[in-house]
Amino acid sequence: MKKKIACLLLATMVGLAACSEEEEPSNTDIQDQAASEGEETEEVHESLEDVEVDQESETDAEADLEQTETDSVEELMKQEPGVYHGEAFDEEAVLEEVNNFPEGLTTQEAFERMLQLLAEDFREEQDLFESFEVQFEELTEMPKEGQAGLEKEESEKQDLNVQILIDASGSMAAEIDGKPKMDIAKDAVQAFAADLPAEANVAIHVYGHKGSNQTDGKEESCSQTETLYPFNEYEEEGVQSALDSFQATGYTPIALAIEEAGALFPEDGENIIYIVSDGEETCGGDPVEATKALQDSGVAAVVHIIGFDVNDEERQALEAIADAGEGEYFSADNEEMLDETFSKESENLELEWLQWRNENILKSYEARTEQILALYEVRNETIQRGYEERNRIVSILYQVKPDVDFDIHEVRDLAHERRETISDYIETKSTELQDKVKEGTDERQEEIRRNALDDGK
């Protein structure tokens, strides 16, 4: 193109010089010469424009070559794909482009031009590698309705808080089969507390243990309830010491006991009350309203009632409390029935959590399998595209005209190297992400076990 412009300029100068040595031209000659010079000037302008276009094309091509040259595999994966990548592949069009490569290309330059035509698109996979996060479904709703429930919030473990309210009114001094009901209740409570999940917080609250069941002792008995074992993990000696510290004495202030015990629940966690009583309220309080107020307070403790050796009227009164507390009423007429009731409740606490734990651990395994399989699929598809890119480059190289101005074998070797680089990178990233999924699964399952409150059972 530059030779063409020089020749045109030289011809113009020679023409002008020749004219200056000849006789003065006629008007017609001048007009013809002006027209001719105008045409030559237009040709020069057009030629200069062609040069500018060619220079712009060369600049763009150089910029594209610089873009494809990189020592970073990550940057390589982010590069724009070739014009004829994937389904856009057109063998004839590519072959024509390669046969028209400019002369004097180095091996690297020829290879980069091949990539401008045939490089596959790996940007989506690189985005995945950089942004991948292990995903799990939300944990299923934790057991509740009296079954050691707690609702998981913001991945923080919440506690199971169990308060046992014991009726120590004078009627509990009566005997069943020669054993005081108070002693039977204490033994049953001790066994129940011992069988609670090891991480549960347990408290023992007593009412009716002050004053007496006589008229002159009513005011004192009806005005006092007491927590003898504050919320803590179960400790046998501490619980036994609390149980040994009172005897059956006074009246039955159930409403006051619910109010005062309810105020002791912590803000977080699932709260459950078990009330062991052999009779109804005798201090003028309204335990049903006290239970409803507890439910509306934000504590929302589930209230279960164990009616111990009660008549029909007393049973109905106690059932109403359980209904208000969204709990259950259990009937126990003797020591065996009381022990069986507590034993079943303890088993239910563990069974519900075992089911919850197993269900969510299974879901975590399923999520792990799905994500690992998805990563395998991405790995295989991406490596396959790398092979297709390499194969297309090699196929075109073996079809180009024999007089191309670059070494096709050296370009082929670069295509092999690129394919191996991409494959190795994909293998490495895929393995790293699979390990990340496995580690995430282990952490998830540990979280589930911690929340299950089942002491490793």
Digit-coded pLDDT (tens) for 381-415 = 999 999 999 999 999 999 998 888 899 999 999 99
Q: How far is 260 from 239, CA to CA, in rounded Å? A: 20
Would you place residue 288 in the very low, low, confident or very high pLDDT band (cuts 50, 70, 90)?
very high
Q: Does residue 440 sit within a domain?
A: yes
The reply to whether 308 and 389 lie within a common domain is no
Instruction: Give per-residue pLDDT as tens, 74-110.
Output: 999 999 999 999 999 999 999 999 999 999 999 999 9
Q: Does residue 296 sit within a domain?
A: yes
* Predicted local confidence at residue 268, as pLDDT: 73
Question: Tokens standing for 370?
Answer: 């799905």
Higher pLDDT, 269 or 384: 384
Which helix (H) or strand (E) segment holds residue 33: the answer is helix 27-68
Phi/psi of residue 229, nearest 5 degrees: -135, 95
The reply to whether 252 and 364 lie within a common domain is no
pTM: 0.48
* Predicted local confidence at residue 52, as pLDDT: 40
CATH number at residue 242: 3.40.50.410
Domain that holds residue 409: 128-133+359-452
The reply to whether 294 and 187 lie within a common domain is yes
Phi/psi of residue 265, nearest 5 degrees: -65, 140
Phi-psi region of 401 (alpha: psi -120 to 50; beta: other; left: phi over 0): beta
The reply to whether 219 and 284 lie within a common domain is yes
The reply to whether 180 and 292 lie within a common domain is yes
Higher pLDDT, 43 or 411: 411
| Triad 417, 418, 421: Cα angle to 5° | 85
The reply to whether 165 and 216 lie within a common domain is yes
Q: Is 80 exceeded by the pLDDT of residue 5? A: no
Instruction: Count CB atoms within 10 A of the CB of residue 351.
Output: 15
The reply to whether 369 and 325 lie within a common domain is no
Q: Does residue 392 sit within a domain?
A: yes
The reply to whether 171 and 306 lie within a common domain is yes
Closest by Cα among 357, 411, 342, 391 to 110:
411
Closest by Cα among 147, 212, 216, 116 to 173:
212
The reply to whether 278 and 420 lie within a common domain is no
Half-sphere exposure of 386 (CA within 13 A, CB side): 25
Q: Is 70 exceeded by the pLDDT of residue 57? A: no
Q: Does residue 22 sit within a domain?
A: yes
Q: Does residue 298 sit within a domain?
A: yes
The reply to whether 190 and 271 lie within a common domain is yes
Q: Does residue 223 sit within a domain?
A: yes
The reply to whether 369 and 410 lie within a common domain is yes
Q: How many domains does the chain have?
A: 3
